[in-house]
Amino acid sequence: MLRSLGPLGAVAFLGACAVAPAPIQPEEHLARARTDYAQLYKDQAPLAGPLTASEAVARALKYNYDQQLASAEASMQASQFDVAVTNMLPRLAASAGYNVRNNENASSSLSVLTRRQSLEPSTSQDKERGTADLTFSWNLLDFGVGYFQARQQGDRALIAVERRRRVINNIAKEVRSAYWRTATAQRLLPKIDPLLADAEKALKANAEISRNSLEPVLQTLEYRKNLLQVITQLRRLKSDLSVAKAQLAALVNIPPRTDFTVELPPEVPSFPRSLSADLPSLELIALSQRPELREEAYQERVDRNNLYKEMIRLVPGLSVLGGLNYDSNSFLVNNLWAEAGIRATYNLVNLISGPIAIDAAQKQIEVSKVRRLALSVAVLTQVNVSYQQYLRSVETLDSAQEISQVEAGIAKAVSDGGLAQAEPEFERIRRGLSAVAAELDRDRAFTDLQSSLANLYTSLGFDPVPAAVETDDLKVLTGVVKRSLDNLDAGRLPEIPHLEPVADQTSEKPKAEKPSAAPSAPSAQPQTVPVS
């Protein structure tokens, strides 16, 4: 046997030493890249017509891989919770075996008094025998530790749900911002291209005039400088606007080279001028709804259960044992028998290490509390900052709309009065640039307003869709998103159950002093928002 085991051990040792890193070959990387590329946009519903704001958010929630990753992690944590629950079950082990010897398992006895052999060599065991047993064991200490570990894993599963909420909220905010920038680009790029072509044509004409010295040098150079400034501004505008569409396509997981359009908002868009809650209520809503704070609350429970777990480890371990056994040995009187027992154990080292572990667990709970309070201050700051940004964005949009109307009026007056043909080429281009820039400022102001609203809603922890909504049906999901966004865009905040009225009603209401040039959406009357 030794001669046979020796070569086998040598082979196993040499095989272990032969293991070395095996890099993936370039052709394998290329094959993986092709497979991944085919998988990226697989099984997506095709775009039918212009992309709407609600459909963009719905597509992001269904197809965006950041959201899918967060969902997969939440599902994994839920599965780990099921595993932790099953770990609390008693241990029930079944085993079977076969044993063979090449000689008899014989022995003799020696008298301790006379030091003589008292019996001739004998055996009570067959050369070949089979065994089997079914053993039940249950340890009270392991059950207690497993119970608190299952509670911790349950809280980790809930933390994963809150992290998914945070991912969804951020995706919805980014999608809406990119959507309105794309709409601005789609509206203004057709106006920028003719202006840019005219400016470049005028620049070539200016170069011809300068080459032939048809006008004074200083006047020609000044004119050229002005044209170059205008061309630079137009190209910068075009570059900024062109990026938005690519960003939106990435967020909603549309293939980069796909040609699509978005549904344009009205040139004079409506927007909410008030919210259905005051600032103190918004602060309380944020403290109760924000995913980050809920995550910290669950983390504190995880740390508290860790403290209970360390306390349980100080308890003596009590094990209950039971089993059903079989042995084919022909010398046995009873080949099948059952046994039961109880055993208590205690690790004496726990008398030293236990109090240290408990003290560390208590300090971890305090750290979690302080971290949650620090995060609460940051959340309140975000709510107040986004609230003030929302107020300012309303005023900015009002001013941008008035300026745009003035520029449009000037352009119309010049055109109606026949002055456009009499003006120098540069002045006509400059006026066109001013009109387009005014429209861009107005659209940017509206985009900033939408972004400030999205930031405010994200800082409050409002979800674009309820967490329980299934995302399998894109059409159904789009309808749910549209109803949710319509309410938010009208300033109607979701009702939060069990919110009590806030006594402080002295905070500033988000209203504009002057009437807007745009017809605003009907806003809900300020009301007390129930806080959860």
Q: Look up the CATH number of the domain holding residue 246.
A: 1.20.1600.10
The identity of residue 297, as a single letter, is A
Residues 6+ apart with CB under 8 A from 528: 277, 281, 499, 501, 502
CA distance linking residue 288 with residue 301, whole number of Å: 16
pLDDT of 443-486, one tens digit each? 888 888 888 888 888 898 888 777 666 667 888 888 888 888 88
Q: How many domains, in total, are found in the chain?
A: 1
Structure confidence at residue 532 as a pLDDT band (50, 70, 90): very low
- Given this model, what pLDDT does residue 359 score? 94
Quick: pLDDT tens for 5-26: 566 666 666 666 666 788 998 8
For residue 49, give Cα distances in angstroms to 42, 46, 220, 260, 281.
Answer: 20, 10, 49, 8, 41
Indicate whether 22 belongs to any domain: no
CA angle, 409 then 411 then 415, to 5°: 115
Band of the pLDDT at 305, cuts 50, 70, 90? very high
Q: Which of 254-268, 418-432, 486-500 has the highest mean pLDDT?
A: 254-268
Contact between 128 and 100 (Cβ < 8 Å): yes
- Per-residue pLDDT tens over the stretch 81-118: 999 999 888 998 999 999 998 888 888 888 888 888 87
pLDDT in tens, 385-410: 998 988 888 888 888 888 888 877 77
Please give the single-letter amino acid code of residue 352: I
Tell whether the model's pLDDT for residue 528 goes beyond 50: no
Write the CA distances from 470 to 7, 155, 315, 478, integer angstroms.
60, 22, 46, 11
- The number of CA neighbours under 13 Å toward the Cβ of 92 is 5
pLDDT at position 243: 83
Q: For all residues of the chain together, what is the average pLDDT? A: 81
Quote the CA–CA distance of 419 and 429 in Å, as a whole number: 13
Q: Can you tell me the mean pLDDT for 323-343?
A: 92
Instruction: Determine the distance from the C-alpha atom of residue 56 to the mean position of all C-alpha atoms in its chain, rounded to a whole number.
Output: 17
Assigned domain for 528 exists: no
Q: Judge whether 183 and 312 are in contact, CB under 8 Å.
A: no
> What's the gap between Cα 294 and its chain centre?
15
pLDDT at 291: 93
Please give the residue that has the higher pLDDT: either 34 or 209: 34
**pLDDT, position 237:** 74
Residue 168 lies in a domain: yes
Higher pLDDT, 54 or 436: 54
Question: pLDDT, tens digit, for every residue of 407-424?
Answer: 777 777 766 655 545 455
Distance between CA atoms of residues 185 and 245, nearest Å: 8
pLDDT at 473: 80
pLDDT value for 410:
77
pLDDT at 409: 79
Q: Is residue 432 part of a domain?
A: yes
Would the pLDDT of 508 be above 70?
no
Alpha helices (H) in 417-519, listed in sequence order: 425-460, 474-489
Which of 167 and 425 is assigned the larger pLDDT? 167
Name the percent of the chain lying above pLDDT 70. 81
Q: How many residues are present in the chain?
A: 532
Which range (227-236, 290-299, 304-313) has the least confidence? 227-236
Question: Rounded CA gap, 435 and 408, in Å?
Answer: 6
Residue span of the structural domain in which 299 resides: 48-98+126-489
Give pTM, 2 decimals.
0.76
Q: Does the structure show a pLDDT above 60 at 69? A: yes
Contact 262, 56 (CB under 8 A): yes
pLDDT band at 493 (very low <50, low <70, confident <90, very high): confident
Rounded to a whole number of angstroms, the distance between the first and last alpha carbons of the chain is 74
237 belongs to a structural domain: yes
> For the segment 109-167, what is each residue's pLDDT rounded down to a tens digit?
888 888 888 778 888 888 899 999 999 999 988 899 999 999 999 999 999 999 998 99
User: Does a structural domain hold residue 252?
Assistant: yes
Residue 11: inside a domain: no
Please give the pLDDT value at position 520: 36
Is 10 inside any structural domain?
no
pLDDT in tens, 221-266: 776 777 787 778 778 777 777 788 888 988 898 887 788 888 887 7
Mean pLDDT, residues 290-296: 93
pLDDT of 370 reads 94
Residue 473 DSSP symbol: -
Contacts of 348 (CB under 8 A, 6+ apart): none
Residue (of 281, 510, 276) closest to 380 by Cα position:
281
Helix (H) or strand (E) holding 276: none
